[in-house]
Amino acid sequence: MPAPCSSSPAIEIRDLCVNRGGAQVLKNLQLTVNPGEVYALLGGNGAGKSTTLAVLMGFLRPTSGTARVTGLDTASEAAAVRGRIGYLPETVALYETLSAYENIAYFLGLSGARPTRSEMDAALDAAGLQAEARTRRTAGFSKGMRQKVAIAMALLREAPVLLLDEPTTGLDPVAAADFNRLVSGLRERGTAILMVTHDLLGAADCADRIGLLAGGVIVEEARPRGEVDLLGLHRRLGEAATG
């Protein structure tokens, strides 16, 4: 396994093309996310957001071009790449007959990690899951609670790269704000974060850069911390979504 280059971007996508079902979903996509940077990828349905994540996770092989995570090629070194990624799916699935602790211990155990109870508590505190819920079976957990468990997993893995798939969809405003604060905290720790989302305001709140993906290419990129026309961006996002 080639050693990752510390000076290289955490995520580097070059000329990425992906064909699925006879259609070209990604067309020469270029994207870079550096350590300690939050990149929000916005786009309508079918824009190619989930495909981008699938390529980065090594679930999909590019038709052409390359995708690298911490310098590792996602196509040829998929297992190693996954070991460096914390992944938060849109709908967090957990084993419902296991508690939050048991879910975390099991999934992290698969990657070789052995978190202690106090380490798990620290991560769950950071994620905001109430202490009384941690020993309960997750069958009755809300989406937000599940997400907090998944975030705790990502924190415990100390992965240099975090991929977030629609992380605030279905969360109430308070939970969404908490989540955005958590993302900001992770950025401070040097984690490179790529989130795909429909939530422009949420993205503007925590992202360093926002990319507007449409038809498989990034048609516009903005830095919300500088001067940005959110309303204009929102309008263009809507136009991109409707084609």
Is 59 one of the binding residues for other proteins (CB under 8 A)?
A: yes
Instruction: Name the residue among 31, 35, 39 with its Cα closest to residue 8.
Output: 35
Is position 60 an interface residue for other proteins (rule: CB under 8 A)?
A: yes
> What are the CA-CA distances from residue 58 to residues 4, 66, 69, 78, 87 (Å)?
17, 11, 10, 5, 12
Which of 40/85 has CB closer to other proteins? 85
Residue 3 touching other proteins (CB under 8 A) = no
Segment interacting with other proteins, rule: CB under 8 A, options 76-84, 116-124, 202-210, 232-240: 76-84
Measured from the CB atom, is 62 or 224 closer to other proteins?
Answer: 62
As given in the structure block, the two tokens for residue 152 are 């705790």
Question: What span, in angstroms and rounded, lies between the C-alpha atoms of 177 and 163?
Answer: 18
| Contact flag: residue 106 with other proteins (CB under 8 A) | yes
Binding to other proteins (CB under 8 A): which residues in 126-185? none
Mark 176-191 as b/e (b = at least 16 C-beta within 10 Å): bebbbebbeebbeeeb
Q: Closer to other proteins at the Cβ: 191 or 209?
A: 191
Distance (Å, rounded) from C-alpha 65 to C-alpha 51? Answer: 14
Q: How many residues bind other proteins (CB under 8 A)?
A: 24
Q: Is 25 in the site for other proteins (CB under 8 A)?
A: no
**Which one of the spans 6-14, 31-39, 91-99, 220-228 is the region binding other proteins (CB under 8 A)?**
91-99
Q: Does 108 bind other proteins (CB under 8 A)?
A: yes
> How crowded is residue 233: how many other Cβ atoms within 10 Å of its Cβ?
19
Q: Which of 5, 15, 76, 111 binds other proteins (CB under 8 A)?
A: 111
Interface segment toward other proteins; rule CB under 8 A; list 77-85, 118-126, 166-174, 227-235: 77-85
Which residue, 109 or 232, has its beta carbon nearer to other proteins? Answer: 109
Helix (H) / strand (E) element for 179: namely helix 173-188
Q: In the chain, how long is the greatest CA-to-CA distance?
A: 50
Q: Which three-class secondary structure state does DSSP give residue 5?
A: coil
Is residue 126 within 8 A of residue 182, CB to CB? The reply is yes
How many residues in total does the chain contain? 243
State which of residues 19, 36, 66, 83 lies at the interface with other proteins (CB under 8 A): 83
Instruction: Tell me if 2 contacts other proteins by CB under 8 A.
Output: no
Residues that bind other proteins (CB under 8 A): 54, 57, 59-60, 79-80, 82-83, 85, 87, 89, 91-95, 97-98, 106-111
